[in-house]
Homo-oligomer: A and B are copies of this chain.
C-alpha cells in the first residue's frame, strides 16, 4: 500500500533510502501566503543532523535542504512544496553480513517477509534518515502554528533510568546540552550513563516529552480521528517508539476519578481547568489547556556486541554490527516528535475549519 503519505488536508509524503542519491518530502496542502525559505527548514534539520555530539554517528552529512517547488517570491503558493536533501555519505562498502543476515531489533526480516527482498544498504527505507522528510515538513507546520500563536516544546525526559521529575524542569536548558534535556545536571548524569553504555558495547532507551501551548479548545474529531488518537499514530510511526501516552497516561490507570478529573473554573469570563491530568484533551478534542504527550523510545538496535541471529536462508549464525552507532537515538528523535506533533496539529486545525456553519459563512459570505 501507499503508506508513505500522512495527513488529510495537510499531507506529507516522504521518500528515499539511506544509501540512495537523495531523500525528501512533498508537503501538500500548505496554505498560500506563508513566508518560507530554506533557512526556516534548515534550522529544524540541523537539530537532527548527525555529528552533533559524541553520542551521534560520525556519518558526514551536512543535510542541506533545497526547496524545489511551491514557494514563489518568499511565500508559499498553496501548491506542493518539494524538499530534497542529497545523501553525501554513500561510501560503497561491504554489506556482506548485513545482506545475508537478519539483524536483531531491525526490520531486515520483516521487510523480506513483506516484499520478498530488501535494499540492505544501511537499512534502506527503514533508516533513521527517513525522518529527514518528517522534520523538514515539521518546520513548515511549526511556522503555521506560530502564526496562530501555538507553540511546541519537545525534550528528552529520560535516558535509561535517569528520569527528570517535572519539578526539576528548566525549559531554558533544553538547547544547552547535547541531549536536549530540560536540566543540565540530569543531562550530565545521562551523559555518564551513555559513556558507560558505549564502553559495554550497549545502547539505551529513553523518553521524550512534548508540550503544546496556545492550542484553542475544540480541535480534533470526536470518534476515530481524536486529537490524542491522531497524535498516538503520528508519534508511534517514528521508528523506535514503543509507547505513547497523553497527560497522566499509564498513571491514570492506577488513579481514581476524584483525582483524575480536572475541575473547570472561571476567572473573568475565561474558562480553564484547575489541574491538567487529561494532558489537554477531553473526548478527543483539545480542552484549551497545555497538551502533554510522552513517547517511549527503545534502545538503539545496532550494538557492537556479538548477537545471535539467522541468515536469510534460515541458518543459525552470529553477527557483529560494525561501524559507529548512536548509543541512544532519543536526543535526535526529539525534533522528530516535535515535527510529527506539529504536522498533526496543523492538519486537525484545518479539518476543524468546517465544523460549524458559522465558519463557512465567515469565509464565503458575500455582502
Contact = CB atoms under 8 A, between A and B. Distances in A.
A113 interface: yes
A119 B72 contact: yes
A107 B281 CA distance: 9
B244 A107 contact: no
A195 interface: no
Copies of the protein in its oligomer:
4
A5 interface: yes
Among A226, A362, A365, the most chain B Cβ lie within 10 Å of the Cβ of A226
Interface in A58-83: 66, 68-70, 72, 75, 77-82
B356 A79 contact: no
15 contacts: A1-B355, A2-B10, A3-B225, A13-B80, A32-B117, A75-B117, A105-B260, A105-B278, A148-B360, A160-B256, A205-B260, A228-B242, A244-B244, A250-B250, A257-B299
For this complex, into which size category does the number of interface residues on chain A fall?
35 or more
Among A79, A80, A252, the most chain B Cβ lie within 10 Å of the Cβ of A79
Main secondary structure of the interface of A (DSSP, over half): mixed
A22 interface: yes
Contacts of A185: none
A52 interface: no
Interface string A221-242: 1111110111111111101001
B263 A114 contact: no
A295 to B, nearest CB: 9
